[in-house]
Amino acid sequence: MSIPLSGPDITQAEIEAVAAVMRSGRLSLGPKLEEFEAAFSSYVRVPYAAAVSSGTAGLHLAVKALGIGEGHEVIVPSFTFIAAANAIRYERAKPVFVDIDPTTLNLDPCVVEAAITSRTRAILVVHTCGVPADVEKLLTIARRYGLILIEDACEALGAERHGKKVGTFGAAGVFGFYPNKQITTSEGGMIVTNDEKLAVRVRSLRNHGRTRKGEWFEHNEIGYNYRLSELHAAMGIEQLKRIEPILARRAEIAQRYNERLAECEHISLPLSELADGKITWFVYLIRLTKKFSRAQRDAVVEAMGKRGIACGRYFAPIHLQKPYQVEGSKLPVTENVAERTIALPFFNALSESQLDEVCAALRECVERAAGATRPAKRAARS
C-alpha cells in the first residue's frame, strides 16, 4: 500500500536509546524497566505501574490478580478488540457482552446495570478509540453491586475524565504500546493501580510467579513470562518524553480530516469533543450513513485498497465471532455501528498531500457505492 493504515512515530532518540541498552549487556529486568514504570506512573498520576509484554498480557494479569475466575461473569463490550474477552476466558470466567452508546461507542451504563446477575464479578470498560467512557457512572454501579472495575485504556493513553487520566479510576488500568498506539514500545503494555498489593502480585505473575525477593528458582504461584525487555522499556522512555507533541500531532491530523470530510453527505465524522473529558486519538473512524449495508462498506474499503490506500474495518463484534457466538445473541447498536465503520490512514507522518489523496479517493468510492443502490431510471416511452 502506498498509504498504510498506521505507522509508528520513531526518532533518532529511540534508536540511540535502544542501541545503548544493547551495548550495556543488560537486556532484561534492569534499570530501564524501573525507569519506564516510574515515568509512566508519574504521567498518569498513580503510585504503581508494572510493565508487561503486551496490552493483552496486562488485561490477563489484571483479571487473574483481581481474583476473577471460574463461575464469575464479567460485563464487557463486544465492540472492541477481542483481547478484552480473551483475557476473561483465560481465567475460565464468562464474558457477558452488552451494547454500546451510539455516540461514544463505549459501554452504555444503563444496559450494564441491567446485565448484572448474582454471578457478576467485574465490569471491564474499554475507552474505545481514545474516547473516555463514562467511567464515573460505571464506577458508581460497580460500587453499588460490589463489583470490580477494570479499565482497558489500551487505545486511550492521555485521555481524561474531568481532568483525571483514564485507566486510574478502577482497581486496575491497562495500556498497550503496539505500533499503532499513541506511543509504542514495539510490543508492550502497562498495568497501573493504586493498590500496592495488587502491583506486587502483578510483578510476580509477569515473572513466572517468582517471590518478591527475586530468588530465581523460588516461586509463589504459577506465573507467566510476560516481562518487558530493557530494549522495549528504553524505547518507551523516549516515546513518553514526547507524549504531548505526539498527541497534539494526532489531534491535528484528526482536525485536518474533519475539515476535508465535513461536507460529505454520506459520512458521519467521529466524535471530536466531550464536555466533561479529553479525547486522545487512536484511530480516525468514520461511519457511513444508515443507508449503507456492510457489503457496500466492504466495497468502499476494497476500492480504497485498489488505489493503494489502506483502510480498516473497526471492530468486528466479538459476540458474532466463532469462539463467542451464541444462538440468538443480539446487540443492535454494536451490530449497526460495526457494519458501517471505516478506519482511515492515521499516523503522525501523514502528509497534507496524503490527506488530500485519502479524502478525494474516499469521496469518490463512497459516492460510487451510494450510486449502486439507487434505482435505475426508467427508459423514456417512445
Active-site amino acid positions: 181
Question: Is 30:230 a contact under the CB 8 Å cutoff?
Answer: yes
Q: How many residues does the chain have?
A: 382
Q: Which amino acid is at 124?
A: L
**Strand ranges, E, within 32-130:** 48-52, 73-77, 94-98, 120-126
Phi/psi of residue 22, nearest 5 degrees: -60, -35
Per the listing, cell 490506500 goes with 309
Contacts of 330 by beta carbon, 8 Å cutoff, 6+ apart: none
State how far the Cα of 103 lies from the Cα of 312, in Å rounded to an integer.
20
Cα separation values, 264 from 269, 313, 353, 359, Å: 9, 19, 19, 10
Q: What is the CA radius of gyration of the chain?
A: 22
